[in-house]
Structure 1
Amino acid sequence: MASCVAPRCRHAASTLGSSAALGRRAARVLSAPRCAASTLADAGAAAETAEAPGGGGAAGVKKRVLSGVQPTGVLHLGNYLGAIRQWVANQESYDNFFCVVDSHAITQPHDPKELSQATYRTAALYLAAGIDPKRSNIFVQSHVSAHSELMHSPPGRRAARLLAPLHRWMLNCATPMGWLEKMIQYKEKSQRAANAESVSVGLFDYPVLMAADILLYQAQLVPVGDDQRQHLELTRDIARRFNDKYAKKKKRKVFVEPEALIVKSNARVMSLQDGTAKMSKSDANDLSRINLLDSPDEIRRKIKKCKTDSIKGIGYSPDRPEANNLLGIYEAMTGKSKEEVEAEAATWVGWGTFKPLLADALIAHLEPLQARYAELVAEPEYLASVLREGAEAADETASRTLADAKRAMGFTLPGETPKF
């Protein structure tokens, strides 16, 4: 899922719950083991990060960041460099909400047991990579009732439970079918499907769920890759259409129209087997990616077998996609500048010299992350508490937006006094 940045609500206390709840949360978090991946956070701080157009907000007001990754397979180096490391680097700058977008993962055939395990594995990797619960909220998408999937809310939250199925339904009713039929990702994935029976309505409707993720949190800025730009434009169109139709005469709009946040740096990591294709969890060839939990032996094997070219020397060049990718990874893993890597590359005899250096850099960089992950697996109660408290904070914000959307469309809310 795309990252999102939004202004913090002026009622910040209500966003995060009562002060008592905050106290319990702080006490639990402060008693938790210190993240062993501090070196990863330091490395992330040195990376070039997203640049928000128009600069910061009012003095003392943090913008909200919402981002997430699908729990399909194991997170890989592309997920880390393209998203998670930048989350870590920006934790002090924003009011952060990071989710595991499990509802997105079921739009295509999946193994229920694997989805459950991958959801917790992904959340644990967020923490292991350096996301700090004292500074960021971490939650599972389906644990927040307002995201619209058919689920049960926590006991005692009857209003949120009644609102749950409505949000995506409301956005669906505001979205022309023709808009979804034009979505490139749907066309590509449906064409690759074995038959029509394997193409779900969820896949067709996936962009509306993505729009719901963004609009629920009043996101102003959304860091997106090239493959997500069309989804962002659809989200803007849905927000504009909803506001024009239901909130045109109101003092404020229900939804913010988000803008693209351009992410700088060499965050785009390509396949180890094809320098022109993005590193992907869905690639059937495991040699195409470095998974964050790969062992040192697996990393060495994958780097040894990665695709290179036969051009003499090693260096950056528009005509050398594999060389650009591998040098970019080395640059990110070592913290060296492009100029420093170029100077070092001039001393290498060939790929046989460079590949062991790259493997060593990857192993050294991922070691603290893997150590912290092992600690988290051994303490599942702590992970459960982080996810529970993160979901409570997220639900406060999402449910408020959902209630505003309901009122705009003319729905009544449970418990309110009837007006005739």
Structure 2
Amino acid sequence: MFPDRVLSGMRPTGKLHLGHYHGVLKNWVQLQSEHPCLFMVADWHALTTNYDNVNEIEKSVWDMVIDWIAAGIDPAQATLFIQSRVPEHAELHLLLSMITPLSWLERAPSYKDQLEKLSHKDLDTYGFLGYPLLQAADILLYRSNLVPVGDDQVPHIELTREIARRFNHVFGKEVGFAEKAEAAIKKIGGKKGKLYNDLRTRYQQDGDVEALEAARALLQDTQNLSYGDRERLFGYLEGGGKMILPEAQPLLSSVPRMPGLDGQKMSKSYGNTIGLREDADSVGKKIRQMPTDPARARRADVGNPERCPVWKLHQVYSNQTVQQWVVEGCKSAGIGCIECKQPVIEGIIAEQKPMFERAQPYVEDPTLLKSIVADGCEVARDMARDTMRDVREAMGLSYG
């Protein structure tokens, strides 16, 4: 069995905003203290839709990594790297394309959806059609078995699982597999070897799931096995071949719908965002200019918070006491709209303050940032090389 490992990434297509923080980055910050995490700047993915604006991608790469650190991602806990600096992503993508049916890519729910949303762009390209496969390669390259996603991305993880399953089925049947597995059983010793065989028989003959779990635990605790022998015995246990690529699991995260300045979901395409590291004066100006309940045309008019976009931000940034003050003051015309907006301004600025502090050393000295990313790329590439060695061997490409 492969150890728990998290992979997630973002496309560098512009400055990050508070929607990214509440929707993704807060979850990353929590995950980095629970699992080994790799966080990827997905610059090749950005090219699938922004190939005609590469200057924005280049600038966004470094801005985005600073934003990650500002949000609380700790380079001492997580590996931060750039996709294109690890060429094995492209190699695995190519090799997986040899066994991935075209229909699997065409049925990806986001494929037709994005074609419609981005109808103004020429996306009749293989890169755009094949990006779910590149995404699968990203995950499988690090043998990541935990991928944090929202509900809408689950089909992509299922595609990744299907591709891993197909790869293991086609290429996991190494020559002499059963003989190598039997030899590996002898290496773990007479008593453990007998127990493994007994558990394997109980699972394969009787479908005893508890026996399967017990055998897996036995292998995990066995120290004198090579990586290859361990994976052979996991595959032999379940009646298959050597497991080369693991089947990733979606790590479902409850992604809050961060409201934008107009009450819709905060999104660059709606022009309703507040930047992760936006100047305090700009934040204040944007909030003060937000629309409110249309019923409150004058200060003395009573209103209803449920009809006001500012109320949605109070639900993110204000405590119960302030929220109660807003409801009572709005419905009685006891407070004005400008007065109502002030706690939101203060809440956002307070949230951003530590972000500016964490980001400042890297803004002042970009070489610090590039050093962190260079180290992360080396760590990622070492993992990628290990996977590709096994993939090439399985596919008969290890000659030379």
TM-score class, shorter:
0.7 to 0.9
Evaluate the alpha carbon distance shift between residue 257 and residue 132 of structure 1 in structure 2; reply closer, same or farther with a 3 A threshold.
same
2:215 match? none
Residue 261 of structure 1 corresponds to 251
Distance 1:127 1:72 in 2: 18
| Alpha-carbon distance between aligned partners in 2 of 1:118 and 1:298, rounded to the nearest angstrom | 21
Deviation of the 1:178 alpha carbon? 0.8
- Quote how far apart the aligned CAs of 1:273 are: 2.4
Return the TM-score normalized by structure 1. Answer: 0.69
1:384-395 → structure 2 map (5 Å cutoff)? 384-395=370-381
Instruction: Report the counterpart of residue 142 of structure 1 in structure 2.
Output: 84
Task: Write the letter of the residue equivalent to 2:81.
Answer: F
**Contact 2:2 / 2:246 at 8 angstroms: preserved in 1?**
no
Structure 2 residue identity aligned to 1:269: M
- Counterpart CA distance in 2 for 1:145 and 1:358 is 45
Whole-Å Cα distance in 2 between the matches of residues 66 and 384 of structure 1?
Answer: 20
1:169 positional shift: 1.0
Q: Distance in 1 between matches of 2:173 and 2:249?
A: 20
Aligned partner (choices 65, 83, 107) of residue 123 of structure 1: 65
Q: Distance in 1 between matches of 2:364 and 2:96?
A: 41
Deviation digits for residues 118-167 of structure 1, max 9, x if unmatched? Answer: 1011111122222222222111111112111xxxxxxxxxxxxxxxxx21
1:234 corresponds to: 159
State percent identity of aligned pairs.
34
User: Residues 94, 194 of structure 1: CA spacing in aligned structure 2 closer, same or farther, 3 A cutoff?
Assistant: closer
Q: Which one is further off, 303-312 or 135-144?
A: 303-312
Using a 3 Å threshold, how does the CA distance of structure 1 residues 290 and 196 change in structure 2: closer, same or farther?
A: closer
Once the two structures are superposed, the pairs formed by residues 142-291 of structure 1 within 5 Å of their partners are 142-148=84-90, 166-194=91-119, 197-248=122-173, 251=232, 252-264=242-254, 267-275=256-264, 278-281=265-268, 283=269, 285-286=270-271, 288-291=272-275
Cα deviation, 1:175-197, whole Å, max 9, x if unaligned, reads: 11111111232212223445684
CA contact (8 A) 2:293 2:305 kept: no
Query: Residues 324, 210 of structure 1: CA spacing in aligned structure 2 closer, same or farther, 3 A cutoff?
Result: farther
Q: CA deviation at 1:210?
A: 0.8
Please give the residue correspondences for 1:14-25 in structure 2 after superposition, counting only pairs within 5 Å: none
Structure richer in helix, relative to its length: 2
Residues 32-74 of structure 1 show CA distances to partners (whole Å, capped at 9, x for unaligned) of xxxxxxxxxxxxxxxxxxxxxxxxxxxxxxx322222111110
Q: Does 1:302 align with 2:272?
A: no
Comparing 94-103 with 302-311, which one deviates more in the overlay? 302-311
> Could you report, residue by residue, the CA deviation over 1:241-298 in whole angstroms, capped at 9, with x for unpaired residues?
212222156523111111222213x6332433243xx4223x0x43x11111221222
Equivalence for 2:354: 368
Q: Is the 8 A contact 2:146 2:249 kept in 1?
A: yes
Query: 294, 298, 316: which one pairs with 1:329?
Result: 316
User: Whole-Å Cα distance in 2 between the matches of residues 408 and 293 of structure 1?
Assistant: 47
Any conservation in 1 of the 2:5–2:146 contact (CA below 8 Å)? Answer: no
Counterpart among 368, 375, 383 of residue 397 in structure 1: 383
SS in 1 for 2:14: coil
Deviation at 1:372, TM superposition (A): 3.3
Alignment coverage as a number of residue pairs: 322
The equivalent position to 2:35 in structure 1, one of 94, 100, 114, is 94
Letter in 2 for 1:118: S
Q: After the TM superposition, which of the residue ranges 351-360 and 192-201 deviates more from structure 2?
A: 192-201
CA distance in 1: counterparts of 2:122 and 2:74, whole angstroms: 43
Segments of 5+ residues of structure 2 without an aligned counterpart are 178-231, 233-241, 296-302
Counterpart CA distance in 1 for 2:151 and 2:140 is 20
CA distance in 2, matches of 1:321, 1:179: 44
When normalised by structure 2's length, the TM-score is 0.73
- State the Cα deviation string for residues 61-114 of structure 1 (Å, max 9, x = none): xx3222221111101111111221222233332212112111111001342222
Q: 1:85 to 1:193 in 2, by over 3 A?
A: closer
Structure 1 unaligned residues grouped into runs of 5+ = 1-5, 9-62, 149-165, 415-420
SS of equivalent residue, structure 2 residue 37: strand
Q: Distance in 2 between matches of 1:226 and 1:145?
A: 30
Alpha carbons 2:10, 2:40 under 8 Å: kept: yes
Secondary structure of the residue aligned to 1:94 is coil
Q: How far apart in 1 are the matches of 2:249 and 2:311?
A: 30
2:16 counterpart of 1:75: yes
Structure-2 change in CA distance of 1:261 and 1:328 (3 Å): farther
**Partner AA of 2:278 in structure 1:** D
CA RMSD of aligned residues (A): 2.6
Q: Please state if 1:293 is matched with 2:277.
A: yes
Range 298-307 or range 134-143, more displaced? 298-307
Aligned partners of 1:193 and 1:199 also within 8 Å? no
